[in-house]
Structure 1
Amino acid sequence: MYLLGIDLGTSSIKVAVVDVATQQNIATAQYPEEETAIKSLQTGWAEQSPNDWWFNVQQAILKLNATALFDPKEIKAIGIAYQMHGLVVVDQNQQVLRDSIIWCDSRAIDLGNQAFEAIGEEKALKHLLNSPGNFTASKLAWVKANEPDIYGRIDKMMLPGDFIAMKLTGEITTSISALSEGIFWDFKNHEISNDVLHYYGIDEHLIPAVRPLFSAHGHLKTDVATALGLTSGIPVAYKSGDQPNNALSLNVLRPGEVAATAGTSGVIYGVSNDLTYDKQSRVNTFAHVTYSEEKKHTGVLLCINGTGSMYRWAKHNFAPLATYAELNKLASEAPIGSNGLKLLPFGNGAERMLNNKYTGAQFLGIDLNTHNPSDIFRAVQEGIAFSFRYGLDIMRENGMSPKVIRAGRANLFLSEVFAQTFVDVTGIPVEFYENDGSVGAALGAGIGAGIFKSAEEAFTNHEIIKTLSPKHSVVYEPIYQDWKKILEKQLSIGS
Structure 2
Amino acid sequence: MYYIGVDLGTSAVKLLLMEESGKICNIVSKEYPLFFPHPGWSEQNPEDWFTQSVEGMKELTEGIDRSQVAGIGFGGQMHGLVTLDKDDNVIRPAILWNDGRSQKETEYLNNEIGKDKLSQYTANIAFAGFTAPKILWMKKNEPEKFAQIAKIMLPKDYLAYRLSGSFCTDVSDASGMLLLDVKNRCWSKEMMEICDVKEEQLPKLYESWEVVGTLKPEVAKELGFSADVKVVAGAGDNAAAAVGTGTVGDGQCNISLGTSGTIFISSKNFGVDENNALHSFCHADGSYHLMGCMLSAASCNKWWAEEILQTKDFAAEQAPIQKLGENNVFFLPYLMGERSPHNNPDARGVFFGMSMDTTRADMTQAVLEGVAFGLRDSLEVARKLGIKIDRTKICGGGAKSPLWKKIIANVMNLKVDVLEVEEGPSMGGAMLAAVGCGAYPDVETIGKKMAHVVDTVEPEEELVAKYEERYQKFKKLYPTLKPLF
Q: TM-score range by the shorter chain?
A: over 0.9
5+ residue gaps, structure 1, are 292-296
Does residue 89 of structure 2 align to residue 84 of structure 1? no
Q: Does 1:312 align with 2:282?
A: no
Per-residue displacement from partner, 1:157-207 (whole Å, max 9, x unpaired)? 101110111121222212333322212122456531111111222222210
Q: Does 1:478 align with 2:469?
A: yes
Q: Specify the alignment match of 1:416 in structure 2.
A: 402
Q: Distance in 1 between matches of 2:305 and 2:259?
A: 14
Matches for 1:337-486 after TM superposition, within 5 Å: 339-367=327-355, 369-408=356-395, 410-433=396-419, 434-436=421-423, 437-459=425-447, 460-471=449-460, 472-486=463-477
How far apart, CA to CA, are the structure 2 residues paired with 1:72 and 1:83? Answer: 27
Q: Is this contact kept in 2: 1:39–1:47, CA < 8 A?
A: yes
1:165 matched to 2:187: no
Q: Is the 8 A contact 1:111 1:133 kept in 2?
A: no
The answer (yes or no) to whether the contact 1:27–1:64 under 8 Å persists in 2 is yes
Distance change >3 Å, CA 118–CA 341, structure 1 → 2: closer
Instruction: State the alpha-carbon separation in 1 of the partners of residues 182 and 311 from structure 2.
Output: 49
Match of 1:4 in 2: 4
CA–CA distance in 2 between the matches of 1:163 and 1:261?
A: 25
The equivalent residue for 1:100 is: 94
1-structure distance, mates of 2:114, 2:373: 33
Question: What displacement does 1:381 show?
Answer: 1.0
User: Aligned ranges for residues 292-307 of structure 1 at < 5 Å?
Assistant: 297-307=287-297
Q: TM-score scaled to structure 2, two decimals?
A: 0.92
Give the Cα separation in 1 of the matches to 2:273 and 2:437.
35
Structure 1 residues 450 and 429 mapped into 2: Cα distance closer, same or farther (>3 Å)? same
Does the Cα contact within 8 Å between 1:132 and 1:183 map onto a contact in 2? yes
Of the three residues 331, 336, 358, the one matched with 2:324 is 336
| Pairwise CA distance, 1:17 | 0.8
Q: What is the deviation of 1:483?
A: 2.0
The answer to whether the aligner puts 1:60 opposite 2:56 as a matched pair is yes
Distance 2:86 2:313 in 1: 46
Matching of residue 132 in structure 1 with residue 123 in structure 2: no
Matches of 1:320 and 1:94, distance apart in 2: 44
Corresponding residue of 2:40: 44
How far the C-alpha of 1:58 sits from its partner, in A, is 2.6
Confirm or deny: 8 A CA contact 2:185 2:282 kept in the other structure. Answer: no
Write out aligned runs for 1:168-317 (5 A): 168-187=163-182, 191-291=186-286, 297-317=287-307
The one-letter code of the counterpart of 2:307 is N
**Identity fraction in percent:** 27
Larger CA deviation: 76-85 vs 430-439: 430-439
Q: Is the 8 A contact 1:213 1:240 kept in 2?
A: yes
SS at match of 1:150: helix
**Matched residues, number:** 479
SS in 2 for 1:107: coil
Following superposition, the deviation at residue 444 of structure 1 comes to 0.7
- Does 2:482 correspond to 1:491? yes
**DSSP-derived class of the 1:121 partner:** helix
> Runs of 5+ in structure 2 lacking a partner?
none
| Deviation for aligned residue 1:10 | 1.6
Provide, for residues 25-53 of structure 1, a one-character-per-residue CA deviation record: whole Å limited to 9, x for no partner: 12112223xxx654333343222222222
Structure 2: which amino acid aligns with 1:285?
Answer: S
Cα distance in 2, alignment partners of residues 37 and 385 from structure 1? 30
Q: Deviations over 1:286-345 (max 9, x none)?
A: 111133xxxxx21101000001221221222134443344444x3x53532574222111
- Tell me which amino acid in the other structure corresponds to 1:333: I
CA distance in 2 between counterparts of 1:342 and 1:222 reads: 57
1:346, 1:360 within 8 Å by CA — same for their partners in 2?
A: yes
Offset from partner CA, 1:241-292 (integer Å, 9 cap, x none): 011111111222212111111111100111223332233322110111133x
Which one-letter code corresponds to 1:192 in the other structure? Answer: W
User: What's the offset of the Cα at 1:62?
Assistant: 3.2
Aligned equivalents of 1:129, 1:148: Cα separation in 2: 29
- Residue number in structure 1 paired with 2:23: 24
CA distance in 2, matches of 1:73, 1:201: 45
CA distance in 2, matches of 1:473, 1:333: 17
Q: Structure 1 residue 117: deviation in Å?
A: 4.3
Letter in 2 for 1:465: V
Distance 1:405 1:339 in 2: 25
Deviations 1:386-421 (A, max 9, x none): 11112211222233331211223x411111111111
CA shift in 2, pair 1:228/1:320, >3 Å: farther
Query: Cα distance 1:314–1:114, how it changes in 2: closer, same or farther (>3 A)?
Result: same
- Return closer, same or farther for 1:426/1:203 CA change in 2, 3 Å cut-off: same
CA distance in structure 2 between the partners assigned to 1:424 and 1:453 by the alignment = 37
Q: Which residue of 2 aligns with 1:294?
A: none
CA contact (8 A) 2:326 2:466 kept: no
Q: Structure 1: how far apart are the matches of 2:406 and 2:312? A: 22
8 Å contact kept, 2:339–2:345: yes
Contact 1:6/1:81 (8 A) holds in 2: yes
CA distance in 2, matches of 1:277, 1:374: 40
Alpha carbons 2:207, 2:284 under 8 Å: kept: no
3-state SS of 2:173 partner = helix
SS of the aligned residue for 2:453 comes to coil
Which amino acid in the other structure matches residue 23 of structure 2?
Q
Q: Is the 8 A contact 2:121 2:190 kept in 1?
A: no
